[in-house]
């Protein structure tokens, strides 16, 4: 048990024991929801299961066997007409040098985004989406450049995680180079800024986007950790008192009424603010060009992410309201100024 405790505490979790003589024992292992757990899609190619990180996946297109004609060719390069745009195709079997695909076989196109390029990866079958734990890969395999790591499947087998950037570099070197050149022309003007955002549900089907750069940790706590200082809600976190902000209530949503609290922790220079959300849904790329300025109090606007209207949280404003000294470079000095004023 000492080993279990040491290991769990090493990753920031806790072990609780409740024991009643003659009744039994309850063990509670709390393991933090860290970002090393990655949402991924598992696909099959040549009888083996591979994982594709969800962040790189735009959509899946199933080709039924009669539609083999849907794959066309520009010279030797296979392409697919995806809503009137030509999507370059990369066959994972060809990349891995396994037997060629026959026209009758079931094929799925996974539309992937790697840096600046979009391409379709041909795989045999898509299994499902899973949260996977990323395991490091032996140094001897890194040089292949196609695998980002490995993971363990539910049945105990090892599956490789595909490195989408590496795949694109290997299969589409020419194309990436050309895209770079053309971007120096007219496209430079429409260069857009994308940032990764954490999408969280705040009850009533509403979704909220929080910039991932502001997020330090995701944690789960029981509801009774919340205590009070005056009118404020606080909790004890990592040996300090951290203000708690219920985002669902603050933004006029319904209180989730769940037993546990899903908390997004923002930490800067030793000061933390805990933002309570209903559930953590996903991490996606957010393109600033698609933002709408339609917003509300504590929001900077809204946008559409994964076909859902998502509210953009004014993280700076919300955090500063909970802890006015959060963004101060020298909290002690600013506090003195505030008191003096």
Partner 1 sequence: MTRHLATFVIDGARYGVDVLLVQEALRSQVRTPVPLAAAGIAGLVNLRGEVVLSIDLRVRLGLDPLPVDTEPMMVVVQVAGEAVSLLVDEVGDVIDVEESQFETPPDSLSQELRHVILGAYKLPTGLLLVLDVERATAQTP
Residues forming contacts to partner 1 in the complex (CB under 8 A) are: 46, 48, 95-98, 135-141, 143-144, 146-147, 150, 152, 156-160
Nearest to partner 1 of 106, 135 (CB atom) = 135
CA distances from 174 to 66, 128, 286 (A): 31, 32, 27
CA distance 122 to 107: 6
Identify whether the C-beta of residue 16 lies closer than 8 Å to the C-beta of residue 27. Answer: yes
Q: Kindly state the smallest distance separating residue 168's Cβ from partner 1, in Å.
A: 16
Q: Kindly state the smallest distance separating residue 167's Cβ from partner 1, in Å.
A: 11
Q: Are strands 194-201 and 279-287 parallel, antiparallel or unpaired?
A: antiparallel
Nearest to partner 1 of 141, 288 (CB atom) = 141
CA distance 179 to 181: 5
Q: Kindly state the smallest distance separating residue 134's Cβ from partner 1, in Å.
A: 10
Beta carbons within 8 Å of 203's beta carbon, 6+ residues apart: 248, 253, 254, 255, 256, 278
CB atoms closer than 10 angstroms to residue 243: 20
DSSP 172: -
Q: Kindly state the smallest distance separating residue 136's Cβ from partner 1, in Å.
A: 8
Q: Kindly state the smallest distance separating residue 122's Cβ from partner 1, in Å.
A: 15
Q: Kindly state the smallest distance separating residue 159's Cβ from partner 1, in Å.
A: 7
Nearest to partner 1 of 60, 134 (CB atom) = 134
Q: Which long-range contacts link 227-235 to residues 24+ away (Cβ below 8 Å)?
A: 232/322, 235/274
Q: Kindly state the smallest distance separating residue 140's Cβ from partner 1, in Å.
A: 5
Nearest to partner 1 of 121, 245 (CB atom) = 121
Nearest to partner 1 of 36, 152 (CB atom) = 152
Nearest to partner 1 of 147, 327 (CB atom) = 147
Beta carbons within 8 Å of 6's beta carbon, 6+ residues apart: none
CB atoms closer than 10 angstroms to residue 289: 10
**280: closest CA among 267, 265, 293?**
265
Nearest to partner 1 of 150, 276 (CB atom) = 150
């Amino acid at each position: 048990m000492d080993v279990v405790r040491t290991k769990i505490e090493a990753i920031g979790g806790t072990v609780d024991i409740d024991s009643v003589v003659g009744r039994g024992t309850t063990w509670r292992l709390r393991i933090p929801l860290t970002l090393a757990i990655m949402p991924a899609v598992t696909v099959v190619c040549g009888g083996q299961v591979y994982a594709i990180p969800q962040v790189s996946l735009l959509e899946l297109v199933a080709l039924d066997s009669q539609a083999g004609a849907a794959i066309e060719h520009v010279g030797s390069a296979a392409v697919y007409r995806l809503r009137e745009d030509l999507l370059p195709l990369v066959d994972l079997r060809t990349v891995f040098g396994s037997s060629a695909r026959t026209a009758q076989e079931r094929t799925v196109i996974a539309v992937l985004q790697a840096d600046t390029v979009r391409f379709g990866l041909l795989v045999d079958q898509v299994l499902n989406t899973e949260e996977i734990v990323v395991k490091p890969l032996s140094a001897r395999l890194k040089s292949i450049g196609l695998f980002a790591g490995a993971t363990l499947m539910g049945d105990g087998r090892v599956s490789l995680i595909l490195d989408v950037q590496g795949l694109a570099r290997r299969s589409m070197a020419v194309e990436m180079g050309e895209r770079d050149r053309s971007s120096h022309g007219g496209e430079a003007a429409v260069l857009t800024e994308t940032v990764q955002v954490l999408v969280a549900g705040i009850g009533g089907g509403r979704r909220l986007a929080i910039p991932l750069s502001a997020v330090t940790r995701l944690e789960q706590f029981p509801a009774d950790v919340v205590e009070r200082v005056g009118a404020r809600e606080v909790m004890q976190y990592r040996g300090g008192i951290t203000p708690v902000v219920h985002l669902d209530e603050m933004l006029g949503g319904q209180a989730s009424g769940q037993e546990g609290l899903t908390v997004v922790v923002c930490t800067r220079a030793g000061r933390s603010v805990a933002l309570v959300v209903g559930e953590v849904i996903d991490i996606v790329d957010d393109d600033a060009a698609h933002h709408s300025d339609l917003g509300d109090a504590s929001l900077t606007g809204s946008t559409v992410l994964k076909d859902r209207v998502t509210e953009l949280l004014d993280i700076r404003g919300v955090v500063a309201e909970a802890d006015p000294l959060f963004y101060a470079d020298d909290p002690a000095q600013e506090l003195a100024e505030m008191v003096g004023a």
